[in-house]
Amino acid sequence: MPRTKSRPKSVSDSGVARSRRDQIIEAAVGIITSHGLHKLSLSKIETRAGMKRGQLTYYFPTKEEILLAVFDRLLVLLCGQLAHKANPADPRNLPTVWDCVEKMLEAVLRPGPEFGREFLALQYTFLAQIAHREDFRHKLASVFAQWRDGIAAHWSDSGKPGPRRAKNVSGRTVSAFVQALVHGLTVQLAADAEAFDRAEMLKLCVGVLAPLFQTPSRSRGKEKQA
């Protein structure tokens, strides 16, 4: 009996495959967000995705592969959050690292869906796994490091620390401090949206961080005095 040649993979096939995989990942994310990681199972995923087991395992042979895909989704969301806050689409409107940090704080402290429920649920779910999942820890550490490195490099170019506050502080330390502050605020707001007065907290954060940078207002003031 002659062998039939396999049909070459077309663009439409690839599109269908991506759509199916996304559908499965979205189903898994929904289960984790609503019920927790311990409730994630192939049977629940296939029910939520509206697929049969054979379809599910065709794209993801094991639950572990789905879990890794969901973790990758978290990293995409995280990179999107950080890129949106630290690297605005139009850099001409935000010429200095201080502008980026200030906009980031405003976004974190502004009421609304900036840091949505899905993102926070996935972040805390996988943070709880890094003690015994070296692959998760390594990936998450890499993303956080890229963010710190980006701010540190930008700070070296446009940030001028006040001599009394940060005379011998490196850009890497400054970026780690900013990152820790952002993480701390998001944790508190995730647990209690009314944990503190957001406008007052923004004012405090700006007051604490501004001396680490040469703010635009200070630069203009010096130019006028000159």
Mean pLDDT of the chain: 75
Q: What is the mean pLDDT of residues 31-50?
A: 87
Exposure string of 43-79, with b = 16+ CB inside 10 Å and e = fewer, is eebbebbebeeeebbebbeeeeebbbbbbebbbebbe
Instruction: Please check whether residue 39 is in contact with residue 31, taking contact to mean a CB–CB distance below 8 angstroms.
Output: yes
For position 95, what pLDDT does the model report?
52
89-118 tens-digit pLDDT: 444 444 577 877 888 888 888 876 545 566
69 versus 71: which is more confidently predicted? Answer: 69
Is residue 80 very low, low, confident or very high in pLDDT (cuts 50, 70, 90)?
low
Measured torsion, CA atoms of residues 15, 68, 25, 189, in degrees rounded to the nearest 10 = -130
Instruction: Please check whether residue 24 is in contact with residue 68, taking contact to mean a CB–CB distance below 8 angstroms.
Output: no
Kindly tell me if the per-residue pLDDT of 7 is higher than 50: no
For position 133, what pLDDT does the model report?
85
CATH for 12-61, options being 3.10.20.30, 1.10.10.60, 3.40.1180.10, 1.10.3720.10: 1.10.10.60
Report CA 114 to chain centroid distance, whole Å.
11
pTM confidence score:
0.63
For position 12, what pLDDT does the model report?
42
CA nearest neighbour of 80 among 122, 137, 51: 122
130 versus 86: which is more confidently predicted? Answer: 130
The neighbour count for residue 153, using CB atoms within 10 Å, is 13
118 versus 82: which is more confidently predicted? Answer: 118
For position 23, what pLDDT does the model report?
92
- Could you tell me the residue ranges of all domains in the chain? 12-61, 70-225
Kindly tell me if the per-residue pLDDT of 74 is higher than 80: no
For position 198, what pLDDT does the model report?
94
Distant-in-sequence, close-in-space partners of 48: CB < 8 Å, separation ≥ 6: 27, 30, 31
Kindly tell me if the per-residue pLDDT of 194 is higher than 70: yes
Instruction: Please check whether residue 21 is in contact with residue 69, taking contact to mean a CB–CB distance below 8 angstroms.
Output: yes
Q: What is the mean pLDDT of residues 178-182?
A: 90
The SS3 call for residue 195 is coil
Kindly tell me if the per-residue pLDDT of 144 is higher than 80: yes
As its CATH architecture, domain 70-225 has Orthogonal Bundle (1.10)
Cα four-point dihedral sign 44, 45, 46, 48? positive
Q: What is the mean pLDDT of residues 24-31?
A: 89
Instruction: Please check whether residue 32 is in contact with residue 122, taking contact to mean a CB–CB distance below 8 angstroms.
Output: yes
Q: What is the mean pLDDT of residues 16-23?
A: 89
Q: Do domains 12-61 and 70-225 have the same CATH topology?
A: no
Alpha helix positions (H), the chain: 11-35, 42-49, 53-59, 63-86, 97-109, 117-127, 134-158, 163-166, 171-191, 198-209, 216-225
Residue with tokens 């005379």: 167
For position 43, what pLDDT does the model report?
92
Q: What is the mean pLDDT of residues 71-97?
A: 57
Is residue 217 very low, low, confident or very high in pLDDT (cuts 50, 70, 90)?
very low
